[in-house]
Amino acid sequence: MAAKLFVGNLPYAMTGDSLRAVFEKVGKVVDANVVMDKMTGRSRGFGFVEMSSDDEAKKAIADINGTEVDGRKIFVSEARPQAPREN
């Protein structure tokens, strides 16, 4: 079972590939993406990483949360389910 992580305070120049590279140091990454602003096309400063197992996700949180990436202290936690949107 894959586990999805929220990653906050990302450097604005970070891409999905560079985010994946950070997390591949601690385990197998299924998917990694940086959330982009629809209007400007720039990073919103956060993203999501999906690890291949719960154990790897816990290891990623323990090893990466609070570390510095390109001069910014990033935050890693379990992703919460998206709240339903009203139209």
- Tens of pLDDT, residue by residue, the chain (87 residues): 569 999 999 999 999 999 999 999 999 999 999 999 999 999 999 999 999 999 999 999 999 999 999 999 999 999 988 888 776
In this predicted structure, what is the pLDDT of residue 85? 79
Surface-to-core class of residue 32, CB atoms within 10 Å of its CB (0-12 exposed, 13-18 middle, 19+ buried): buried
Q: Does the residue 27 lie in any domain?
A: yes
Q: Does the residue 14 lie in any domain?
A: yes
In this predicted structure, what is the pLDDT of residue 31? 97
Number of domains into which the chain is organized: 1
Read off the CATH number of the domain in which 15 is found: 3.30.70.330
Q: Does the residue 72 lie in any domain?
A: yes
Q: Does the residue 84 lie in any domain?
A: no
Residues with Cβ within 8 Å of residue 40, at least 6 apart in sequence: none
Task: For the sheet with 29-36, list strands across it.
Answer: 29-36, 43-51, 3-8, 75-78
Domain that holds residue 32: 3-78
In this predicted structure, what is the pLDDT of residue 46? 97
pTM for this entry = 0.90
